[in-house]
Amino acid sequence: MQSPLAQKRLAGFDLVQTNYKTVGDHNIRADFIIPQSNYTGKRPVILRFHGGGFLTGESLFFEWFPQYLFDIAKQHNAVIVSPNYRLLPEVTTLDLFDDIEDFWIWLHSPAAAELLSSQPNPTELDLDRIITAGESAGGTLSICHALAHPEEIRAATASFPGFLGAPVEDVSVRKDPPRLSGLSLEEANRVVDEAIRNGEKGVVQSSITPPERLPLMLAIIEVARLYELYERGTEKDPRRPLRHPMERLDEPDVKIPRGGISIRHGLEDDILPPEVSQAFVDKARKVMDGKPGGDKIVLALRPGGHGFESETTGDEEWLQENLRFAIEAWLE
């Protein structure tokens, strides 16, 4: 049975679920959220990545799935596509990013088109009009993926992302981590160490509904070990900039989507400080000055903490201004 919030978010939508990838005997799911309407043309796509510190989360955990995405989808007859991906610490971020890329390939495959065309309400995606979105860790994935496919994605958007490629001594690790889990530093480190040991046993996880693992995520933040976990097992990674947006900006051939990058962050965020987003935006504006999309890098700093915009609706003026360039490029 759907929760009241799920019923609210999904009102007026059809939900199509499928597995886009299998690892061993573990299926990884993606969800298509399709407005119920008489629209018959190709529908633009909102590619949305869920958050959860790369450790927890689920593509249909509606407490972390902002209302405005559903409003925008209805307004523009767009399909929201929300994939799951394998979670840390059972895998490395190399595996996680492989899942995102495999999903991207699958989304463009005949199998995905046949799935949607065979539904009671047949749907065809306009894969030339894709915008990315995501919250927290999902915001990082949104921007990483857009930087990997800048000419195939019209614009990137992100909510309170954590750019783990920023220098550790700068903004990627807080000097005074918040005390959120209720654990001492010794206890928090013990919880993290135990999770890493258990993760090495090879059990795959790609869908965890909070609050499960939320204490682990908070403990990792408190002891400033999220960067360590993000980098674990990637020593021989030849694609490091794929996972580090700040480093991607250093590449001489770096491009961003023509609709730019739109970010929102809460000023009182006690999980990921707004300086994280400000540092990325400042660097991106400098690097992309005079280049396509460079004049469309937008940051809105708003009152509120982590997850502040969950109930934000699509008609709020500040949000419309933040997304103006992105949506114009997406729909043109």
Residue 170 has what pLDDT?
42
| Distance in angstroms (rounded) separating the CA atoms of residues 244 and 160 | 16
| Distance in angstroms (rounded) separating the CA atoms of residues 187 and 181 | 10
Three-state SS for 238?
A: coil
Structure tokens at 144: 């990483």
Percentage of the chain lying above the pLDDT 90 cut: 81
The number of distinct structural domains making up the chain is 1
| Distance in angstroms (rounded) separating the CA atoms of residues 17 and 82 | 10
| Distance in angstroms (rounded) separating the CA atoms of residues 119 and 211 | 33
Q: For the chain, what is the radius of gyration of the CA atoms?
A: 19
Question: Does the pLDDT of residue 175 top 70, yes or no?
Answer: no
User: For the chain, first and last CA: distance in Å?
Assistant: 39
User: Mean per-residue pLDDT for 10-15?
Assistant: 96
Question: Does the pLDDT of residue 104 top 70, yes or no?
Answer: yes
Angle among Cα 115, 87, 10 to the nearest 5 degrees reads 45
Domain that holds residue 24: 4-331
Residue 2 CB coordination number (10 Å): 12
**HSE value, Cβ hemisphere, 13 Å, CA-based, for 214:** 10
At 280, which CATH number? 3.40.50.1820
Question: Does the pLDDT of residue 171 top 50, yes or no?
Answer: no
Between residues 114 and 198, the one the model is more confident about: 114
pLDDT per position as a tens digit, 136-150: 999 999 999 999 999
Residue 66 CB coordination number (10 Å): 24
The secondary structure of residue 160, as a DSSP letter, is S
Residue 254 CB coordination number (10 Å): 17
Question: Does the pLDDT of residue 236 top 90, yes or no?
Answer: no
Confidence of residue 237 (pLDDT cuts 50, 70, 90): confident
| Distance in angstroms (rounded) separating the CA atoms of residues 175 and 155 | 33
Length of the chain: 332
